[in-house]
Structure 1
């Protein structure tokens, strides 16, 4: 279930006032960003909505509160169900919030190809296992270190997908979303039609509403019954964030001590920031922002109902296309166009067919070539094999993993000293279920890129006005 991170934008926009009131004392921080990253002319912030039934300090939320929020019970997973990259030039001239659909099928460093919302959970679970194996029995220490590992895995995944360097990180949970929307007096939204969704609890009539607390959570969580499912939910979150920014900028929130106090209290309970974030300096950069200078976009997607080998239906994205989109969106006016380099170009992939399916080696080679790898030799294996194997020379495991991820099928990685340096050898087995048989995946021409609908207007979603949505 998706969670909104819309309140984090309020955190950014009210940061200056909070700093003036010294209300940021007591925020929970995490060591997840390298403070020595080189400056690149902008700040990129990863805003994360956590599917968590605890507060920022790890304390469980009361059952009565979860019932009020219509949150249900936790399934034990700590998925990040809303991901937004906020790009702000150093001059504070215009901010762009780029949504990453939670089911985007991407490469997670160290874990292969999976939905992006599982990156945090996979990194955390792996770190927890390693800490236990090392003899760490301090529950608080394990929770802290494993949570930071999860955040770092997520940050690395987003950086790899977008080509951007994440400078700051902020996450929020269910409680924070509900409390912050109430603190500012609700947010104005507009629906194109009546909705009645028993899964999220969303039951609203067509037209305008002012939503806060549990009702706001229901609005941003609904995906069942919407024409485009998760993509429509992404738009819901964007227009809610825009409405929240508009409310803060135009309704005197920054000068209302009562509202600011409530906001500070909500953030302290529910928000986690990276250590070393200069909130005061950052907030000063935002003072020139107005509603029209905050724009909301979604990365391009190839297929909203892509069948994955192990993770069910997902949203298929093309990493090269995503990086080009992000670069074009965040480039300074007048900046020279840049060509995205293909990350696999330095890897030459040889493919051997270990099955009786004719032409399979050539098809797989073509599929990998279309994903940026350099095509090597193709041919038949010396014998029939059952399991697909990616063989690599010493020191090239990461290269082999990237090839395995691109295959979109199960493959075993094996070090093999006979494989030439700079090459990776794919031996396709009978279990292969990758690109050659999936129409529109890699061998067939890609489907037209899809983007999330913007509601009742073709104008970009901004914090200047209200956009009606599904």
Structure 2
């Protein structure tokens, strides 16, 4: 056995020439206890074992939390799956819906917490947003849809957007309500909805309570007896009840429901910043509370895989969430069945460019090649032009070689549009060549290319040589990103 180095052995002794090259006298050394060479190995093994146990424990904790989370989520058959809704490196669109129904058997105390009464509420979807996630998951875009948007609801004609869920049977058949609402949103935007998430009034409250107090900033003080919100101007710290009132308020805001949309976009950005903070993600108890609250609050389509969703969104931060509201023309009051009705008039013609500016990338329509007129069947509907205009437009299109069907009338609209079903982009582009200025919109409510003549007076005509285009002005960002500490109405 070798001796363990000590304070003398560590350094060579000097040689004294006077002693004939012999080293000087070395004092006797104290006995050295025998070494245990295996102890270090044992220690390293124990360290490795502890690390392995910690990793396994963390993995088990994550697995346990995920299983607990998934078991609390209610899933419904909301999406007509076509095999392209998986998180497989493609862009994803998730429809987020919030409704106003009260919990069954809620006590007066619970209703007071929600800032509401036992009036039953309703399943009208007052909050509707599409969350667009690009393939690389580095950002997210929230597109809001005003609840009073006056839209085409298949099978029910014109109606407010927030009625689609109920008209689809949402009271008794949430899947049917979700499917009809998705069909309307897809028809409005041309976006394919891949997944669906719905949260109730009580669910929102529970999530806000689990996350804890949150700071918001208002430009002006508010005192709204309908939502029960009473806050000064500047920064306020909200509890769960105040948070719910904050996103529900629309009375007393300069633009009513449109400003409520902004409130909801702002609040989701603030909440995302809190959820993605180390204080939530690195606190297992806090994270568990939040996961429990979220899982018990939401209803999703059966194909939504949360692990895949989290993997695709791993690069997301609160600072790269963009929010926007679909373009509108105004908030007129119209007459329906002899009664006055306040609506939001959607700028249908502006939506395609709005979507493109917001989420980027060429659409299938843009990349399509115009079909030959002889290969295109087109229908013309009069939606606000002079009497006989649909028949005249049909005759003109037939003279250019298009196949046509009998003209008809439809609901009044201000803007002439060319509507087409998915897969007929080339046919729509061919018609657009003979109807410059018309909005071209993908729609789930038509089975062929359909021209809806509006009050703008556009009519088909032979194409003319295009003049050189003037330089386009610098684009204005379509959406808003809320920085930390931003203030709103």
TM-score, shorter chain, exceeding 0.5: yes
Residue 32 in 1 paired to residue 50 in 2? no
Deviations 1:203-238 (A, max 9, x none): 100001121311011111111111111111111111
Instruction: Label 1:76 to 1:198 Cα distance change in 2 as closer, same or farther (>3 A).
Output: closer
Deviation at 1:464, TM superposition (A): 3.6
Q: Structure 2 matches for 1:194-343, cutoff 5 A? A: 194-310=221-337, 312-332=341-361, 338=366
Aligned residue number for residue 41 of structure 1: 90
Residue 99 in 1 paired to residue 126 in 2? no
Two-structure CA RMSD over aligned residues (Å):
3.5
Aligned residue number for residue 153 of structure 1: 180
Deviations 1:229-274 (A, max 9, x none): 1111111111111111111223421121222222222223321011
State the structure with more CA Rg: 2
Aligned residue number for residue 410 of structure 2: 404
Deviations 1:429-448 (A, max 9, x none): xxxxxxxxxxxx952699xx
Instruction: Label 1:271 to 1:215 Cα distance change in 2 as closer, same or farther (>3 A).
Output: same
Look up the SS of the partner of 2:378 in the other structure: coil
How far apart in 2 are the matches of 1:78 and 1:35? 24
Deviations 1:71-90 (A, max 9, x none): 22335641000000000012
How far apart in 1 are the matches of 2:349 and 2:481? 26
Deviation at 1:463, TM superposition (A): 5.2
Deviations 1:288-331 (A, max 9, x none): 11122111111111112342525710100032322331133112
Aligned residue number for residue 347 of structure 1: 379
Aligned residue number for residue 455 of structure 2: 443
5+ long unaligned stretches in structure 2: 1-60, 371-375, 397-403, 415-452, 459-476
How far apart in 2 are the matches of 1:74 and 1:172? 19
Q: Structure 2 matches for 1:1-40, cutoff 5 A? A: 21-22=65-66, 23-24=68-69, 25-38=71-84
How far apart in 1 are the matches of 2:149 and 2:283? 40
How far apart in 2 are the matches of 1:74 and 1:322? 36
Look up the SS of the partner of 1:349 in the other structure: strand
5+ long unaligned stretches in structure 1: 1-16, 129-142, 352-360, 379-391, 409-440, 447-457
How far apart in 2 are the matches of 1:272 and 1:18? 22
How far apart in 1 are the matches of 2:485 and 2:117? 30
Deviation at 1:164, TM superposition (A): 0.4
How far apart in 1 are the matches of 2:188 and 2:381? 22
Deviation at 1:122, TM superposition (A): 0.6
Deviation at 1:276, TM superposition (A): 1.7
Contact 1:350 1:376 in 2 (8 A): no
Deviation at 1:68, TM superposition (A): 2.0
Instruction: Label 1:444 to 1:48 Cα distance change in 2 as closer, same or farther (>3 A).
Output: same
How far apart in 2 are the matches of 1:18 and 1:223? 40
Deviation at 1:37, TM superposition (A): 4.2
Q: Normalization by structure 2: what TM-score?
A: 0.65
Deviations 1:69-124 (A, max 9, x none): 11223356410000000000121022101111111111111111111000000111
Name which structure has the greater RCO, CA cutoff 8 Å, separation 6+: 1
Deviation at 1:339, TM superposition (A): 8.6
